[in-house]
Amino acid sequence: MAKKLPLKQRYAALTRDVHWEPSYVDPEKVFPYTSFEGIKIHDWSKWEDPFRLTVDAYHKYQAEKDKRLYAVLDGFAQSQGHLTLSDARYLNAMKLFIQGVTPLEYAAHRHFAFLARYLNGAGPRFAALCQSIDELRHTQTEIHTLSIYNKYYPGFHNWNRMHDRVWYLSVPKSFFDDAISAGPFEFLIAISFSFEYLLTNLLFVPFMSGASFNGDLPSMTFGFSAQSDESRHMTLGLEAIKFLLEQDEGNVPIIQDWIDKWFWRGYRVAALVAAMTDYMLPKKFMSWKEAFELYFEEQMLGGLFPDLAFYGIKPPRHVEHAIGEKDILSHQVYWVLYQFSFAASFTTTVPEPYELDWLSSQYPDTFDRFYRPLWDKARKIQENGGRFFFKGLPQLCQTCQIPMAFTEPGDPTTICQRHTVYNGERFDFCSDGCQWVFEREPEKYVQAWMPVHQIYQGNCGGPSVPEVLAWYGIQEGDNGEYLGSVEHTNWQRWHATAPVGS
Amino acid sequence: MTATPAQQRPRTVGVDLQQNSEDTRAIVAAIERDNPEAVVRHMPGLVKIQTPGRLVVRRETVEELLGRPWETHEFQLAIVTYYGHVDEWDDDEIVIKWSH
């Protein structure tokens, strides 16, 4: 048997050598999408793939990853692992995950398949092909993993339809729709670089550690399994940006503009992750603030951006607003979710006293001053037999589609509200960042499908809350207050000392 | 000894590995041996390794600690995330560092 080629040669033989230059068809016709964005590429062969992945190695290691994951899933299901979670309310975080994140994996699968056909170079095409298959694997493994819980808990049953319709899910959906309706290079900067390299660590790493801490072994395993592919995706993002910057100096300002836009778009989506991390994990592991400092400020601003300065790239515009929000972000977002969970496919509740104390210790400058009083008030209402829900519809930011609950930079007590008049119509924004994103492409964002506007226009099942919820696919028991909910009562019954059924 | 100004200190790079197997344990030990300045932090389900300037994973060291042949591609089963630039990934070693 012939000796196996060294890794570098094997990669060259199996990836680069199968490429050919079109000769009897105009290359412009074969690759029609890589010129209109103004990006100039002089030599596609300069694209590096440091992983040097080949088809055979890819399948071998992906199969091994899946084998390991499914062994965990089987063991967990057989041992009734859902009973050993820290608490039933933990699963609210995973409902948000399957409704908000899993459909993005599928959208990414589709768009990377598109790039695997339409990028001119063999290197980036193959990297995009692997990523496309990865994203499909993530979609499938997430559905399989969380189906374990769907048997016993509400809120997991209709995530795909909800993703297209429900108000809070339009935040991640519109973010990804924005990316896939851009050109191929902007998509690479949006998803591969700004999202995968800069921000996904905040979703997958501390949050999945939190899943492990709360007894959710299956989610931790799919999370880390997905994230191991993600390290290849991060490499694709970093290679994409370096390649584009090195190909032509004229690309630099275009790339900077995209980084500025996509950092802010991605960061606003991550606001949901902030709320999940600080409020939805009953056993606390790492605060949003600490994760942001470690994975974003230290690793990206301290590590990556000095490297990109070589090309003339600066840290993203509005990054100082994001840093300024690290002490307030999760509190403001979870307070919104608490008030509106009657119209959501998850439940919320006032944090337990130990959680409030933990939040005080993690956020000494802000929590006791601004947020603990809100929870004290909400608890009092609940103790007196009520439950505070905000029964109106919130105004949404035209860009990120999050309810307008964020505050002025440096002043956590004043709601921030910006607006722009475009073609005689007024559009509102939650922040300078979202206003700036709108103003550079207003014709794109005026078309946004705004959930609240759609309800008022009569496009969401009818004028009343029950009609809208029915149209969303939310069933009784999916939504509202956690205490006394179906999942809470079941959980107590399953953990009662008396035998079940007695 | 005088303190080095922050901008002259080498920036750190790092990898986060899954804490899931004997293999990972050997890889972490190999990284510690080949990168004496590595700071290792254990988190639930995860081992976070940070080093100043440059991080290397050597096949020979991993094989010695693992007691079996090991391909550098197998590192993909352990890695959760990293920061830095993958400067080299061949049959013998993986090197992560910043380029500029």
If you write DSSP's letter for every residue of A236-299 in order, what string do you get?
A: HHHHHHHHHHHH-TTHHHHHHHHHHHHHHHHHHHHHHHHHHHHHS-SS----HHHHIIIIIIII
Q: What is the DSSP string of B3-66?
A: PPPGGGSPPEEEEEEE--SHHHHHHHHHHHHH-TT-EEEEETTEEEEEEESEEEEEHHHHHHHH
The total number of structural domains that make up chain A: 1
Packing angle, helices A217-247 and A122-150, rounded to 10: 160
Query: A446 in a domain, yes or no?
Result: yes
Residue A1 has pLDDT above 50, yes or no: no
Q: Would you call B81 and A231 a contact, using CB atoms and an 8 Å cutoff?
A: yes
When pLDDT is cut at 50, 70 and 90, the band that residue A369 belongs to is very high
Q: Which residue has the tokens 């819980």?
A: A149
On whether residue A43 sits in a domain, the answer given is no
* Residue A501, pLDDT score: 55
Taking all residues of chain A, what is their mean pLDDT, rounded to a whole number? 94
A303/B11 CB distance under 8 A: yes
Q: Do B20 and A298 touch (CB under 8 A)?
A: no
- Who contacts A308 (Cβ-Cβ below 8 Å, separation ≥6)? A241, A245
**Is the pLDDT at B4 greater than 90, yes or no?**
no
Cβ <8 Å between A224 and B87: no
pLDDT at A2: 56
Supply the pLDDT for residue A327.
97
Q: Residue A243: give its domain's CATH number.
A: 1.10.620.20
What is the reported pLDDT for A310? 95
* CATH (residue range B12-97): 3.90.56.10
In terms of pLDDT, which residue wins out, A502 or A382? A382
Residue A92 has pLDDT above 60, yes or no: yes
pLDDT band for A134, please (50, 70, 90 cuts): very high
Is A17 inside a domain boundary? no
Q: What backbone phi and psi angles, to 5 degrees, belong to A268?
A: -65, -35
- Grouping H, G, I as helix, E, B as strand and the rest as coil, residue A60 is helix
Look at residue B7 and tell me whether its pLDDT is greater than 80: no
Do A310 and B99 count as a contact with CB atoms less than 8 A apart? yes
Q: What is the pTM of this model?
A: 0.94
pLDDT reading at A157 higher than 90 = yes
B49 forms beta bridges with B15, B40
Q: Report the 10 Å Cβ neighbour count for A306.
A: 14
Pick from A204, A205, A238: which is nearest to B85 by CB? A238
Average pLDDT over residues A425-436: 98
What is the span of the domain harbouring residue A307? 54-494
Is the interface score ipTM higher than 0.90?
Answer: no
Cα–Cα distance between B32 and B10 in angstroms, integer?
18
Which of A61, A205, A286 faces B80 most closely, judged by CB atoms? Answer: A205
Could you tell me if B91 lies within 8 Å of chain A, comparing CB atoms? Answer: yes
Question: Which residues from chain A sit within 8 angstroms of residue B99, using beta carbons?
Answer: 242, 307, 310
**pLDDT, tens digit, for every residue of A272-323?**
999 999 999 999 989 999 999 999 999 999 999 999 999 999 999 999 999 9
Q: Does any domain span residue A21?
A: no
Q: Do B73 and A307 touch (CB under 8 A)?
A: no
Interface test with B, best of A213, A214, A231, A281 (most B CBs within 10 A): A231
Residue A13 lies in a domain: no
pLDDT value, residue A498: 60
Would you state the pLDDT for residue B22?
83
